Amino acid sequence: MAAKKPRKEELAGYRTLLCVTGGIACYKAADLASKLTQAGAAVDVAMTEAACRFVTPLTFQSLTRRAVFSSLWQSAENYRSHHTSLTESADLMVVAPATADILAKIACGIADDLVSTAALAASGACDILVAPSMNTRMWLAAATKENVATLKKRKVHFVGPAEGRLACGTTGPGRMVEAAEILAAATKLLLKRSPKKSGD
């Protein structure tokens, strides 16, 4: 079913933290960043080291017209630590693509890079929406199933994965849903609440 197209500027005043982790679907995250921006949201982007091997921070910086964060140790102009301030100011954290690795880290509370630390710091600050993307065997692995169940129990929101052709040439569940579907899921969650309007 085609995702409902958000009205123009429907997300004006909202701020999202788009976290990009290292899977082949990173190229679709660029489209998502563009769509969120076109819908009027301010989009902060945080990337893992692995994600930066698939797409460059410059891609997201150009699409969102904002700084992109890729390290816990990046210096902050306003002296606020990104690992906590990014979720304090965000109305929603979106992890797309979400690797098996980041799902495991969030489920276990591991905080060893910017994205996993921000996810832990999202607790009590903003909701998390994840769009998993991985090989079918990884998605169906017992560890991933348990991690997904833990995250759902903690009210982490999921969109996808879909079934279809995967980059590894196989067909099955694990394919990240299209950017329009993630945008629709994010829009639905965002419009349930008023924007924090936490400034730039």
Q: Interface with ligand FMN includes 160 (CB under 6 A)?
A: no
How far is residue 182's CA from residue 169's CA, in Å, rounded to a whole number? 23
Q: Interface with ligand FMN includes 100 (CB under 6 A)?
A: yes
Q: Interface with ligand FMN includes 138 (CB under 6 A)?
A: yes
How far is residue 95's CA from residue 92's CA, in Å, rounded to a whole number? 10
* Contact set for ligand FMN, span 2-31 (CB under 6 A): 21-25
Q: Interface with ligand FMN includes 96 (CB under 6 A)?
A: no
* DSSP states of 116-159: HHHHHHTTTT-EEEEEE---HHHHHSHHHHHHHHHHHHTT-EE-
C-beta of residue 179 within 8 angstroms of C-beta of residue 32: yes
Specify whether 52 is catalytic: no
Q: Interface with ligand FMN includes 99 (CB under 6 A)?
A: yes
Q: How far is the CB of 21 from ligand FMN (least distance, A)?
A: 3
Helix axis angle, 26-38 to 57-64, nearest 10°: 10
Residue 123 corresponds to which tokens in the numbers above? 């607790």
CB-wise, 50 or 180, nearer to ligand FMN? Answer: 50
Q: How far is the CB of 137 from ligand FMN (least distance, A)?
A: 11
Q: How far is the CB of 198 from ligand FMN (least distance, A)?
A: 26
Closest CA to 119 of 149, 146, 157: 157
Q: How far is the CB of 8 from ligand FMN (least distance, A)?
A: 32
Binding residue for ligand FMN, selected from 16, 34, 37, 48, defined by CB under 6 A: 48
Report phi then psi at 83, rounded to 5: -65, -25
Q: Interface with ligand FMN includes 51 (CB under 6 A)?
A: yes
Active site residues: 168
Residues that bind ligand FMN (CB under 6 A): 21-25, 48, 50-51, 99-102, 133-134, 138
